[in-house]
Amino acid sequence: MFIYAVSSVRPLEYVILQYINDRETQTTALLVSDEAVQSYKTVDEAVQTDEEPKRKLRLAEDTSGQLANFLRRTEPYIIKQLTNNLRSRAFDGYDVDLEDDSTSVTSLHTLTYPSLQDKFQVTSLSWNSTGSVIGASYGQQEHEDWCTHRSVMCTWNLDRTGIVADKPDSKIEVDSCLMYIAFHPKNPAIVAGGSFNGEVLLWDLSREDDMLIATSGLGQDSHQEPVTKVYWITDAKGKKIYLVSASGDGKIIQWKIDRKAQKLLPKEGFMVMTQSLPRQMKVKGVRGDREIGVTCLSYHSEDRETFIVGSETGVIFKCSMYSQGPPAGSHIVSSIPLRSPVTFTYNPHHGPVYAVECSPFHRNAFVSASMDQCIRLYSLLQAQPVLTIEPGEGYVHSATWSPVKATVIAATTQSGNLLIYDLKQGKTVPVHNIPASSNKEPVYACQFNPQQTHLLATGDGKGRVQIFKLSSKLQQVSGKETEFLGNLVNVTAE
């Protein structure tokens, strides 16, 4: 390019210019548009599961023609064995322990993010769909006014050999406290989060630059109070996956993701109102359409339209996506119609409900944890709880079912302990009671790893995430647990 200064070499200049022109045409188009196409993978995955039945299994032809005789001979014997098996008590209580017998729960890793300087606490944890990445959201509990903290979401990949306990694999900065995060159930890189300011955000961790792919913004359609929970649900046919968020303003909104505009648009919404409260809790003079803050929600494992909602008032509601409840009051401004989803009300806790979860094994059981220091097991069909467990360790901040063993519940308390209950072995005393934080800090979040079932993560008030390895007893399934849970939860007509 320095040739320009030598004016006597003019003809050469033109040649060089031509070179430059060529180079310019060599730049290729940006690949960003391709990435947008890839983001539709979530739909493709659903389609792929449908293709399997089309492949036909080529069964061999029966050449000897003796099949009927063979079946005639063996059928009576087989039927006799089948009936014997159902009645047999030979294997009752016979449990084989073939794996190495570890009876204790040990802590594997303690993950921290030092830049937070212990000022932030872990508000929620989530494992991704492959079970190899744990994500933690951080926030502060004390806010006087609008949130002005700059918080982060950190993820660690536990399958990497060189895992460094105080260096997260990825950090996403958020400009307010993050209250809840949830990884997508199929795509291991997509994660949704709810912030203190009422915003619902969606990130894609596989992107190099800006990981934020959609946000609900801070307008009338988003939440007006901190988002308490975000949840991914599959629709009735099991094909599409939607994002639902719940918040202290009583709204439960189902979102539609608009990738191009990078916005989350509300698709359907519900509002939990005071008219759904049980009679003894209603306050005279308060209108029926005042909103009740939603603190947690859980969708039913089999019935896609039923969900359980826990509220700040301590009341637990059973709700339905298709309910035609009364609409929200006229003081609520929203672009989509909001109505009450409540179909049934359960006997309330004496304090805000911090967690509810429907059992993944039995269609009628769900567990709830509350500030009134107890854990309750409810049947979906009756208002009174079936079982109340009082650990006596302060507020119970979270309770969750084990994804492998139907009678195991893990709970975390204000006194910094992780309690693991096995209902088959004792309904009041936990099988494990382990300190999960350094100096009696309350433990706010706890999540089982659905893929690698020996792992459990907890997060405490100083921002530390602990990964525990569960004992082999907690993962051994004997097949009778679902029956045991069913017997516990069965409503007896008395």
- 83/384 with CB nearer other proteins: 83
| Footprint of other proteins on 42-81 (CB under 8 A) | 52-53, 55-57, 59-64, 66-68, 70-75, 77-79, 81
Q: How far, rounded to the nearest angstrom, does the alpha carbon of residue 280 sit from its chain's CA centroid?
A: 33
Two tokens at 32?
Answer: 């960003």
- Asked if 177 and 147 touch (Cβ cutoff 8 Å), the reply is yes
Smallest separation (angstroms) from other proteins to the CB of 120: 43
Could you tell me how far CA 430 lies from the centroid of its own chain?
24
Residue with smaller CB distance to other proteins, 38 or 83: 83
Q: Which is nearer to other proteins, 53 or 392 (CB)?
A: 53
Are the C-beta atoms of residues 417 and 436 closer than 8 Å to each other? yes
Phi-psi bin for 406: left (phi > 0), alpha (psi -120 to 50), beta?
alpha
- x/- letters, 311..330, toward other proteins (CB under 8 A): --------------------
* Cα 188 from chain centre: 13
Binding mask 451-480 for other proteins (x = CB under 8 A): -------------------------xxxxx
Any contact of residue 175 with other proteins (CB under 8 A)?
Answer: no
Chain position carrying tokens 């003079």: 285
Is 482 a binder of other proteins (CB under 8 A)?
Answer: yes
Which C-beta is closer to other proteins: that of 99 or that of 173?
A: 99
Interaction residues for other proteins, span 88-107 (CB under 8 A): 88, 91
Pick from 62, 67, 184, 207: nearest CA to 133: 184
Cβ-based nearer residue to other proteins, 233 or 477: 477
| Smallest distance, other proteins to C-beta of residue 64, A | 5
H/E segment holding residue 136: strand 133-139
Beta strand 338-339 with 263-271 is parallel
Please, what sign has the CA dihedral across residues 168, 170, 174, 178? negative
Question: Phi then psi for 131, rounded to 5 degrees?
Answer: 80, 10
CA distances (Å), origin 163, targets 6, 77, 108, 402, 440: 58, 57, 12, 26, 26
Give residues with Cβ within 8 angstroms of 412, minimum separation 6.
396, 397, 398, 418, 419, 436, 442, 443, 444, 445, 446, 458
Q: If DSSP codes are grouped into helix, strand and coil, which group holds residue 105?
A: coil
Six-digit token string for 448: 């089982």
10 vs 55 by CB, closer to other proteins: 55
Q: How far is CA 192 from CA 90, 185, 205, 212, 469, in A?
A: 49, 11, 11, 10, 27
**Closer of 40 and 91 to other proteins (Cβ):** 91
Which range, of 12-20, 82-90, 234-242, 271-279, touches other proteins by CB under 8 A? 82-90
301 binds other proteins (CB under 8 A): no
* Closest distance of CB 43 from other proteins, Å: 24
The minimum distance between CB 425 and other proteins, in angstroms, equals 18
Q: Quick one: which H or E segment has residue 482?
A: helix 481-489
CB of 58 to other proteins, least distance (A): 9
Cβ nearer to other proteins, comparing 20 with 57:
57
- How many residues bind other proteins, per CB under 8 A? 38
CB of 479 to other proteins, least distance (A): 4
Q: Which of 327, 329, 351, 486 binds other proteins (CB under 8 A)?
A: 486
15 is an interface residue for other proteins by CB under 8 A? no
Q: CB of 434: closest distance to other proteins in angstroms? A: 27
Tokens read off for 384: 């009174």
Q: Which is nearer to other proteins, 242 or 484 (CB)?
A: 484
Nearest residue (CB) to other proteins, 88 versus 206: 88
Applying CB under 8 A, among 29, 30, 32, 86 the residue interacting with other proteins is: 86
Q: Which residues lie near other proteins (CB under 8 A)?
A: 52-53, 55-57, 59-64, 66-68, 70-75, 77-79, 81-83, 85-86, 88, 91, 476-480, 482-483, 486
